[in-house]
């Protein structure tokens, strides 16, 4: 049995220890929460609109939203789709509460 140190990584440069994998997961989740791009967010705000996550935050009780499959990505090919694989695949689903009622 081999013990991995905190700096261990695979040949592809991915962390193989638990701390590294957890840090990687936190980074991926943060990327998913940021949305598709800064440019897309600015474009939405320029139109006087909020992003989907901003609308969810306003609608639901604070801290109640439980997202489902946040890291889901599509498997489509053609038309350049294989190069564009945002986390959540452009769809945000889950549940939360509005005035204490589950929705």
At 22-78, the pLDDT tens digits run 998 898 888 888 777 788 889 999 999 998 899 999 999 999 999 988 887 777 888
Residue 88's CB is within 10 A of a number of other CB atoms, namely: 20
Classify 12 as helix, strand or coil: coil
Q: How far apart are CA 77 and CA 64, in angstroms?
A: 35
Is this prediction's pTM over 0.85?
Answer: no
Q: Let me know if 76 is exposed, middle or buried by CB neighbors in 10 A (0-12, 13-18, 19+).
A: exposed
Both tokens assigned to 89:
């695949």
At 76-91, the pLDDT tens digits run 888 887 777 777 666 7
């Amino acid at each position: 049995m081999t013990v991995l140190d905190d700096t261990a990584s695979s040949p592809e440069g991915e962390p193989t220890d638990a701390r590294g994998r957890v840090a990687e997961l936190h980074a991926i989740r943060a990327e998913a929460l940021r949305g598709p791009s800064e440019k897309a967010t600015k474009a939405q705000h320029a139109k006087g609109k909020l992003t989907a996550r901003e609308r969810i935050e306003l609608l639901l009780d604070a801290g109640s939203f439980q997202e489902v499959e946040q890291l889901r990505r599509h498997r489509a090919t053609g038309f350049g789709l294989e190069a564009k694989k945002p986390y959540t695949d452009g769809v945000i689903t889950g549940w939360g509460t509005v005035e204490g009622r589950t929705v």
